[in-house]
Amino acid sequence: MLHCYVIAFVLVFSPFIAISNASAGDADPRYRNCVKECDESGCIGKRCFPNCKISADEVPVIGPPWGMLEPLYARWKKAHCKSNCHYYCMLDREKDRELLNNEPEKYHGRWPFKRIYGIQDPASMVFSSLNLVMHLHGWMSFFTLIYNKLPLKARKRPYYEYAGLWHIYGLLSLNSWFWSAIFHSRYCEIIERLYHFSAVALIGYSLILAILRSFNVKDEATRVMIPAPLISFVATHIMYLNFYKLDHEWNFKVCLAMSVAQLATWAIWGAVSHHPSRWKLRFAVLMSGLAVSLQIYDFPPYEGHVDAQALRHAITVPLTYLWWSFIRDDAAFLTSERLKNSKKSK
């Protein structure tokens, strides 16, 4: 079984070094000139946007640094204006490219999507929302199992040593998929940063959790020492994206490296472990590898709606249910083992 995982991960990881996620579309001079004119005039040709018109009473009259504290409504209008300028300039530029039989280009790290009822990326938004619901269901069912169905120690402490770690995982997952749904509804710089930061935090923590569970780390001191370098790296990476440069290509490579490392850890443990629910782990790892490969072998949205990322989010919906099922099985299995060992020691 191990060689099957090795083949799968070689296929996923092989193009990693050659990946390029740079956005050629937003580097186009004609696109940039269109956005600049729209920002200044609030119009693209005969199409004008009311939100680009900010009245004098919405602009702060106090100089820096207090002048930077603009009213939230004015900031929202500016962000909405900028989003419309980028969107319609992108559509116009893609129409010109289509007439020349050229392939679509990415703009600001994203493919050109067609809005539906104002939603920027409807397919990814729907699947992100479904993932949010599935994680909420999985986490609540895990919580119910731990504290209402399985035996507890004194002071209502669970026998399952990884319960607290999975609770943190559940919260980070809910946070990440929430911002994913918001981000795919309408692009905005602040929401985009929250989306990327939440995803990085979840992927980094998932790698830590994979290492701790696979190597059966139970000592509290070791649980602190092992994650420390990874936590430092993830925190530094988030600060780099926030305060220096929101580099989509670099962030993509970092997330991919952590995802592959996490899946490799689970795959090796699943291959050598005699866990009663190891088939769930193995299937989840292989399907997750497929989802990661969709992120690598990216393609433009079909009919302007469904791209590789939307399909990846669709795959993770049933995968999330299976994953939380494995987590519950793991909790029941280790609780049973701890009870047997405690009875033998007596």
Per-residue pLDDT of the chain (346 residues; tens, 9 = 90+): 444 444 444 444 444 433 333 466 677 788 888 888 887 787 887 788 776 765 544 444 444 443 444 455 455 555 667 778 888 888 888 888 888 888 788 777 777 777 888 788 888 899 999 999 999 999 999 999 999 999 988 888 998 999 999 999 999 999 999 999 998 887 777 888 999 999 999 999 999 999 999 998 888 888 889 899 999 999 999 999 888 888 888 998 999 999 999 999 999 999 999 999 999 999 999 999 988 888 788 777 777 778 888 889 999 999 999 999 999 999 999 999 888 877 666 5
Provide the pLDDT for residue 22.
43
Quick one: 43 and 171 in the same domain?
no
Terminal Cα-to-Cα distance of the chain (whole angstroms)? 39
Element (H, E) at 35: helix 29-41
Quick one: 77 and 179 in the same domain?
no
In a domain, 8, yes or no: no
In a domain, 114, yes or no: no
Provide the pLDDT for residue 249.
85
Quick one: 127 and 87 in the same domain?
no
**Which of 85, 82, 114 minimizes the C-alpha distance to 98?**
114
Q: The domain containing residue 93 runs over which residues? A: 26-60+68-100
Quick one: 96 and 124 in the same domain?
no
Q: What is the pTM of this model?
A: 0.81
Please, what is the Cα angle at 111 between 108 and 113, to 5 degrees? Answer: 115
Q: What is the CATH number of the domain that holds 278?
A: 1.20.1070
CB 259 within 8 A of CB 292: yes
Provide the pLDDT for residue 79.
64
Provide the pLDDT for residue 133.
97
Quick one: 51 and 90 in the same domain?
yes
Quick one: 211 and 313 in the same domain?
yes
Quick one: 197 and 77 in the same domain?
no
Quick one: 131 and 168 in the same domain?
yes
Quick one: 91 and 184 in the same domain?
no
Quick one: 172 and 282 in the same domain?
yes
Number of domains in the chain: 2
